[in-house]
Structure 1
Amino acid sequence: MLKSRVITALILIPLVIAALFMLPPLPFAIMIVAVCMLAAWEWGQLAGLNSASQRITLAIVCGAALAALYWPIYTSSLPLLAHPVVTGFLLAALGWWCLALLLVLFYPTSARLWKHSYLLRLMFGVLTIIPFFWGMLALRQYGFQENNYTGAWWLLYVMFLVWGADSGAYAFGRLLGKHKLAPKVSPGKTLEGLVGGLATSALIAWLFSLYVPLHISLNTLLICSGLAVLASVLGDLTESMFKREAGIKDSGHLIPGHGGVLDRIDSLTAAVPVFACLVFLVF
């Protein structure tokens, strides 16, 4: 298992970084649509859609909806963040993850409100996947007219932030972890691990502010980064909560050694839109 995880990571990480810096806006958007369709396919299982035809339909509807929303914006002369559809979904992400925090904090009691409703679980999927799509595009296309790589650095930063915080949380949790963070949702996570992840993210923010052209004050970057890391932990816990209710360990088996697409992007589905919303709309 560990060997396949490492091999897969060594293959995927360079491909992801290359896509960030080399793909123009439209091909990049198409790639993210494909990722979101795979995520929707897997979310269908969390929502209780057990037949393959239902889940395929959900993935197709997701892709068609994202394409229909994106095309008028792509052909418009206005910047991405000037469109109310984009800003609306980014702001909706803040509301959704605040609600998700309550669902996690009061689990399993909170599950009584939604576990028997296909509609609610599908709506939770919409609020997870679509803001993630717009957050990825908003970060990638930021400053694109002046410098094609500005947005790529922003996205790379958020990814390194989440990956680094996750690794820091794992290391600190293994060494010092004693107090469970959310034992009813994910027994392996600890408060000590959370503090270690936040400390690691602060170090990454400081290093990026020194050597990468993000053009943002360190204080603002630290605030946005800290909140994004907290959101990433919440994204992980929320998916774990839905998987626990669905009675499954992994959301899928598409990525060898890593489970499904949702298992790999669960933290990013929260961190990316929250970070984009804080940087672009709040600060």
Structure 2
Amino acid sequence: MLKQRIITAIWLIPLVLGAIFILPANYFAWALVAVFLIAAKEWGRIIDNQCDVTQWSFTCTIGILLIAINLIVPIDAVWLSNQLHPIYLAILYIGALWWAVSLFLVFTYPKSAAFWQNNPMFKSMFGQLTLIPCFVALIALKSISSQASPYYGPVLVLLVMLIVWAADTGAYFVGKAMGKTKLMPAVSPAKTLEGLLGGLVTTMLVVAGVMHYSPEQELGLVVAVTLFVALVSALGDLSESMFKRAGGIKDSGTILPGHGGVLDRIDSLTAALPVFTLVYIAFWM
């Protein structure tokens, strides 16, 4: 399993970095549609693991919504005079509200599952609220321009990914070595409080990198935002684990050997990206 994970990462990471830094923003937005369609098909299994019609219906719904967003808000209209397009901003706020609701659902699981576990409409709505704000946040960050650097937006996308990767990696290794206190056993039995704390500590490496390359930043703010985004990313992971557990699914898919599905790889990002984008707008725009 570990060997498969490493091999997949070797070809996947350059592909992701190439898309972030080399693809023009308009091509990036359309390439994302394909990626999120795969994630949508995987979420369709959460809605109904036995019914292909339900899965494809949800996938088509997500595809129509994402294409509509790209057509209604072209790349050159995403940011105007340092203001995010109102449609994008509204979707991000809705996404942030959803993650507050998701936090409640996770903390009260399995009791919370009583009203949504057997309701395809609710699970479809939850899938839309999980995927669409993440899609919008990725495009919003990628398309930010700066006179100082043409790669300013892509660097922000990479920064969020580094926070999530650092938190995940630290949580994995510290949890394996020292994990004793179960974090939320009803949702994800393997995750521990020690692992979560280890992941938060590991994200300080990202803070050190930011302060090294951009020393004019306020250290306290960078630390606070990094820890907050890392915690939110953990919520994204726990939320997907909750929905998979309720649906009797171990991995969302098999497209990424050793890693599972696309949804398994972006679950933390689905929460971290919208929240980071709103924080960035509040403190740095």
TM superposition score normalised by structure 1: 0.93
**Deviation digits for residues 145-190 of structure 1, max 9, x if unmatched?**
7632001111111111101111111111122211111011111111
Of 102, 109, 112, the residue aligned with 1:100 is: 102
Is 1:254 the equivalent of 2:240? no
Is 1:23 the equivalent of 2:23? yes
1:137 counterpart residue number? 139
2:226 counterpart residue number? 225
Aligned CA-pair RMSD: 1.9
The Cα of 1:243 is off from its aligned counterpart by 0.7
Task: Tell me the secondary structure at the aligned position of residue 148 of structure 1.
Answer: coil
Task: Tell me the secondary structure at the aligned position of residue 73 of structure 2.
Answer: helix
Amino acid at match of 1:260: G
Task: Tell me the secondary structure at the aligned position of residue 101 of structure 2.
Answer: helix
Mapping of residues 175-186 of structure 1, within 5 Å? 175-186=177-188
Q: Contact (CA 8 Å) 2:48, 2:54: kept in 1 or not?
A: no
The Cα of 1:219 is off from its aligned counterpart by 2.3
**Deviation digits for residues 212-252 of structure 1, max 9, x if unmatched?**
x5974332222222111111111111111111111111111
Residues 259 and 75 from structure 1, CA distance in 2 versus in 1: closer, same or farther, beyond 3 angstroms? Answer: closer
Q: Contact (CA 8 Å) 1:44, 1:50: kept in 2 or not?
A: no
Amino acid at match of 2:41: W
Residues 2 and 282 from structure 1, CA distance in 2 versus in 1: closer, same or farther, beyond 3 angstroms? Answer: same
Q: Contact (CA 8 Å) 1:251, 1:263: kept in 2 or not?
A: yes
Distance 2:96 2:215 in 1: 23
Q: How many residues align?
A: 282
Q: Contact (CA 8 Å) 1:150, 1:214: kept in 2 or not?
A: no
The Cα of 1:54 is off from its aligned counterpart by 3.1
Residues 58 and 78 from structure 1, CA distance in 2 versus in 1: closer, same or farther, beyond 3 angstroms? Answer: closer
Distance 1:156 1:46 in 2: 29
Quick one: percent identity of the two aligned structures? 44
1:39 counterpart residue number? 39
Identify unmatched segments of 5+ residues in structure 1.
Answer: none
Distance 1:142 1:198 in 2: 27
Mapping of residues 48-63 of structure 1, within 5 Å? 48=48, 50-63=50-63
Distance 1:258 1:40 in 2: 17
Task: Tell me the secondary structure at the aligned position of residue 189 of structure 2.
Answer: strand
Q: After alignment, is 129-138 or 65-74 more displaced?
A: 65-74
1:197 counterpart residue number? 199
Q: Contact (CA 8 Å) 2:25, 2:75: kept in 1 or not?
A: no
The Cα of 1:78 is off from its aligned counterpart by 5.8
Distance 1:242 1:166 in 2: 19
2:70 counterpart residue number? 70
Q: After alignment, is 218-227 or 102-111 more displaced?
A: 218-227
Distance 2:96 2:29 in 1: 22
TM superposition score normalised by structure 2: 0.93
2:122 counterpart residue number? 120
Mapping of residues 206-225 of structure 1, within 5 Å? 206-211=208-213, 216-225=217-226
Is 1:236 the equivalent of 2:237? yes
